[in-house]
A and B are shown apart, each in its own frame.
Chain A
Amino acid sequence: MYSLLGKIDLDALKNAGDLAWKGMLSIFIVMALIYVLIIVLNKVTNKTAGKTISLKSILTKFTKRKTPKEPIEDTEQVASSTNNNSEN
């Protein structure tokens, strides 16, 4: 067989065919592994993130319970406390 540059090396052609299928297969394998990695990463990290948020919310609730709001008795007390705060 001849080409533009002379005789075609049949061994080179066979190698090119080998390179083509092995190359494509290898890239797909790497991509498949990366795909699995992303799925696992997304699941694990999203789960962890969810737990962190719920823990935070529990802690916030707990803190709120520990400091219950005291009923304000009269408006004069409110006014004086506001004044004190603003001075500070």
Chain B
Amino acid sequence: MDLDFLYRSFTEIFSGENWKMIVMWVIGFILIYLAIKKQLEPALLLPMGFGAILINLPFSGAIDQVLAGVLPAPGVIEWMYNVGIEASEAMPLLLFIGIGAMIDFGPLLSNPKLLFFGAAAQFGIFATVVLAVLCGFNIADAASAGIIAAADGPTSIMVGNLLKTQYLAAVIVVAYSYMALVPIIQPFAIKLVTTKKERLIRMPYNPQRVTKASKIIFPIAVTIIAGLIAPASIALVGMLMFGNLLRECGVLDMLSDVAQKTLANLVTLLLGITVAFSMKATEFIRIETLMIMGFGLFGFVMDSIGGVLFAKLINLFLPKGKKINPMVGAAGISAFPMSSRVVQKLGIEADPSNHLLMHAVSANVSGQIGSVVAGGVVLALVPLMLVGA
């Protein structure tokens, strides 16, 4: 009786480059450890970590195989990846409906001047693209690495996948990991470019009244504006704003609730394990993965610096007493609400009675719009460059 199949996987794992699979198990364990022990984006890192182990087993049935060299056996994770990410981008886009339903644009509508920080803090994306090209990446891979600095997981997945980067797995893992590290990265970056005196600047909070009509018209109008200027961003912006419209319309509370909780949780759960498909050992274990980790860190730091320096620039034109605390500029990234909390914490650290939270929330919410617009702009420009090349 032929019982080779019982130990075939054991011998296979030590043949050729399959030792890399064991390294992927270790990476999987690390992701699960970070999720459970350090609680870093557990909803995503845990499924990703488990998925990394699942697909890096010899002859794993979770991905497509050909049994005995003749019978095709489709794998569920590969199928979910092909359908939910590669073919339609459905998973990241559906997640955006949930995110949109969670966002309250009220603080931004009542204090709109902070909207521009959502643009300035996208600086890290483009600084990273230049750095990646300087390190020898082609423009598509560099743009995919740069989009990590959008601090927006679904946008990173969508841009990386549409630009067909070979480093998609690294981009996704780094994007989500660094988002969880915002409370560590941002204080360092902010303190690097601000003085104690600047961190002490007080900002009076005088919000304008925001009507329900404003909140309803806003998502529709933003979709039209973003769609006309950066049509490539319309899927991202549109889904985000659709989710927000569900929240604000006032007649679909049940759907809004489902989008915020059930839909967002379900898609996150499936997304985590599905993107693990791109974490195949042969594609993940290479020097470029480490470089992308470096780019991600650089991008997050440059985002914060970009936002802070923009605030300082605006302060040159503002009268005394109306100046903006430059730290608020750093909250213009998409990582919500971590970034606002960081700014509030640093404000209180400098002066226990200086509360910057509401200003930071306005900038942070605008960063969520900024990141999807940035994704759309990258998707609009890079393919033109690839065609030109």
A residues near B (Cβ < 8 Å) are 3-9, 11-13, 15-24, 26-35, 37-39, 41-42, 45-46, 48-49
Residues of A within 8 A of B210 (CB): 42
Q: Would you call A23 and B378 a contact (CB within 8 A)?
A: yes
Interface string of B376-389 (1 = CB under 8 A from A): 01101110010011
Asked if B273 CB lies within 8 Å of chain A CBs, one says no
Q: Would you call A12 and B112 a contact (CB within 8 A)?
A: no
Residues of A within 8 A of B77 (CB): none
Docked CA distance A4–B127 (Å):
18
Most chain B CB inside 10 Å of its own CB: which residue of A15, A21, A32, A46 = A15
Chain B interface, >50% SS class? helix
Q: Which of B2-10, B32-40, B137-145, B181-189 contacts A (4 or more CB under 8 A)?
A: B137-145
Q: Which residue of B lies closest to A52 (CB)?
A: B211
Asked if B108 CB lies within 8 Å of chain A CBs, one says yes
The number of A-B residue pairs with CB atoms under 8 Å apart is 144
Partner of A11, one of B132, B142, B382, B389: B389
Residues of B within 8 A of A18 (CB): 381, 385
Q: Given A4-B291, A19-B381, A37-B218, check contact A9 B129 (CB 8 Å).
A: no
Q: Would you call B109 and A41 a contact (CB within 8 A)?
A: yes
Partner of A27, one of B127, B221, B377, B388: B377
Residues of B within 8 A of A28 (CB): 116, 119
Q: Which residue of A lies closest to B233 (CB)?
A: A30
Q: Would you call A15 and B211 a contact (CB within 8 A)?
A: no
Docked CA distance A54–B388 (Å):
61
Q: Given A11-B389, A26-B230, check contact A38 B129 (CB 8 Å).
A: no
Q: Would you call A6 and B229 a contact (CB within 8 A)?
A: no
Residues of A within 8 A of B130 (CB): 13, 16-17, 20
Q: Would you call B115 and A34 a contact (CB within 8 A)?
A: yes
Asked if B258 CB lies within 8 Å of chain A CBs, one says no
Not counting A12-B139, A19-B139, A39-B112, a sample of 9 additional A-B residue pairs whose C-beta atoms are within 8 angstroms of each other reads A9-B138, A12-B389, A19-B378, A23-B374, A30-B225, A37-B221, A41-B213, A41-B214, A46-B211
What 3 A-B pairs come out closest when comparing CB atoms? A5-B136, A20-B126, A3-B136
Interface size of B by CB at 8 A reads: 54
Docked CA distance A39–B381 (Å):
30
Residues of B within 8 A of A11 (CB): 389
Docked CA distance A5–B288 (Å):
9
Q: Would you call A20 and B382 a contact (CB within 8 A)?
A: no
**B50: shortest Cβ distance to chain A, in Å?**
32
Q: Which of B23-31, B191-199, B350-358, B365-373 contacts A (4 or more CB under 8 A)?
A: B365-373
Partner of A45, one of B126, B214, B291: B214
Docked CA distance A87–B69 (Å):
90
Within 8 A of A (CB), among B282-335: 288, 291
Docked CA distance A26–B78 (Å):
36
Asked if B222 CB lies within 8 Å of chain A CBs, one says yes
Residues of A within 8 A of B389 (CB): 11-12, 15
Residues of B within 8 A of A5 (CB): 135-137, 288
Q: Would you call B125 and A15 a contact (CB within 8 A)?
A: no
Q: Would you call B136 and A6 a contact (CB within 8 A)?
A: yes
Docked CA distance A36–B129 (Å):
30
Within 8 A of A (CB), among B196-244: 208-211, 213-214, 217-218, 221-222, 225-226, 229-230
Asked if B122 CB lies within 8 Å of chain A CBs, one says yes
Asked if B178 CB lies within 8 Å of chain A CBs, one says no
**A50: shortest Cβ distance to chain B, in Å?**
10
Residues of A within 8 A of B112 (CB): 35, 38-39, 42
Residues of A within 8 A of B221 (CB): 37, 41
Residues of B within 8 A of A7 (CB): 136
Q: Would you call B126 and A24 a contact (CB within 8 A)?
A: yes
**A2: shortest Cβ distance to chain B, in Å?**
8
Most chain B CB inside 10 Å of its own CB: which residue of A6, A28, A48, A49 = A28
Residues of B within 8 A of A24 (CB): 119, 122-123, 126
Docked CA distance A5–B294 (Å):
14
Q: Which residue of B lies closest to A31 (CB)?
A: B119
Asked if B251 CB lies within 8 Å of chain A CBs, one says no
